[in-house]
Structure 1
Amino acid sequence: MENTNSSPQQAPITEKRSYTLQNQQGMRVTISNYGGTITSILTPDKYGRLGEVVLGFNDLADYTNEAYLANQPYFGAIIGRFGNRIDKGRFQLNGQEYQLATNNGENHLHGGIKGFDKVYWHVEEQPAQNGLRLKYTSPDGEEGYPGTVQVTVLYILTPQNELVIDYQATTDQATPINLTNHSYFNLAGGMAQDALDHVLTIAADRYVKVSESLIPTGELPTVEDTPMDFQTPVAMGARIDQVPGGYDHTYVLKEAGRHLKRAATVEEPVSGRCLEVCTTEPGIQFYSGNFLDGTLRGHGGVVYKRHYGFCLETQHFPDSPNQPCFPNTILEPGQKYHQKTIYRFYVCQDE
């Protein structure tokens, strides 16, 4: 493990820093203290050649420049307090109505105007685990949320090319919590125009139906005989023209419970790279990079056009504080929030 900036203990918390984890296979994961952001993941293809498989920038200054903030793609960032959307930024809890910041039209998205993706995290290196422990205290009232929340996110890179993300949180007042990571993947390693040829499988037979503003209607329809069906392997672009706006939907995982379960697998046929996602969460958001518009240029000078990257965000369902039939997202004092997700990278032919 290396720290790519010198003397981190002397630098103020307002200085962006990068930390790199590397395993025996040569896989490298770089993470910034700003937003807890995964800025780079290098993994081998079927020929053993390392390639960049996430969207991001080499220069940390690009994560706060004007073009990035205007586009707001959340590349690789920790998302909180609440990932995804809350209708009109409002919810009621214990008889009181709360108004959150609205930053997605009239709705609240990904924690608000200054969510966990735009704060500086305290980083503790964990060499025995080949990991990093990130900590942040979200004060009472931040972005309109009640309660002071202590958040810890542990990143571990294993010898098996697994990136483990372990999230924990506690609170002193009841508050909604729904943490995730917003990495965009492209397993072609810079050798493709988009990600639409990636072959996706999702272990879900239902999805969360949403309105035109992407707020859940409360319905959980079946994926059967629809372009939403990824129960068997299908190219991401095979039916995307039948989905207005592209994929941006939460899938309801077949296996219930808080144990680790396989949520999705992805194969990139040319490079031979594959990705498996396992999680303790009840849902996974498949987002096909619909709002990438070519205004951002990232690793290797690649222009990030529409559908160049995709997200598989493990999480609870959108707008859960206003949907009593959805799994609970309210964290109470004395409870501990815990979410664990594993992104495992491998070469398909080796399986």
Structure 2
Amino acid sequence: MTDLKGELSEWFGGPIGHVHMRPDAVGSEHHHAEDVRFSIDGFLRYLERFSGAQTYSVIDTDHPYTGLLYRDISATLTPESLPAIREEVSAAHLARIRELQSRPELNGHVYSGIEVDIVSPGGELLVTDDVLSQLDLVICSLHYTFYSKATDLRSRTERLTTAELVSAYMHAVSNLHVDVLGHPTRDIGRSNKDSAYLSEWLPLIDLMKQKGTAYELNFAHFASLREVPDFDKALITQAALRGVHFFLGLDFHNASEFGLKTSGSVITPENADQAFSAHTEKVHLQFLLKLMRVIRLLESLGITPAQVVNSSDIRFKEWLATRISA
């Protein structure tokens, strides 16, 4: 989005991060209107139309199990089935990487990546290190539903304690392939946030600084909240004070989050113009309002674009170079 004017371009001058896209035009047979997805090509078309830029890029960071055509692996996920499922989703994501690599026209426009689940207290990830090592960017996140099934946490009535969550995060970011910790506070209960002492999180923040791991500023999470909890604000502020890098992630899964309403299961270059033609200005306005609301939050916390690794192409490439050489 390098041609956007003013402050928006200062934040979004680099690759757009954490967008969930289909690698092709194949859609789910059980889609709903609110589940319309972008194909990778369709999203590039959206960036072109939205920004008016000739140079733009996106980081392909879908869940690895999307390659299984939305088969609900969580339905059969247990500690016993985890090893086999891990191999299956790893193979599916490797096939996705190979598909992207087979398309030279995407070079410079699409970075290969993943949002991979943390599935054990020891920070084990749902995808093998061999596959993760072949990606440009790895976001690791804890999604409570997956984690609880993979660890059999369902036998407990309470959610993860702060100590358990922070420990799992610290193990995960110690993986040399992990570049970004995704939405760190999203999947802890509000009661845990209210009772969590900031000091319990500081060892994680210090480890992220040491490892060069970026802290995701998750737009979908912040935009969904009427008011961002004080704990979230305090943790972001501490991360900034301690020199941790930040990563801007949209975490948008479907077209409705961009203000688009369209039929079909996937937006492709072929149907993109039809999808965008209705209420184009309104579409752009809804998206812009979401972006600006979160930007205002970050500004109120003293965060600047210079602290965000994907706010410009140069910053992103320089940061990736430090990750590769680390």
TM-score by length of 1: 0.27
**Which gives a bigger RCO, structure 1 or 2 (Cα 8 Å, sep 6+)?**
2
Larger strand share, 1 or 2: 1
TM-score by length of 2: 0.28
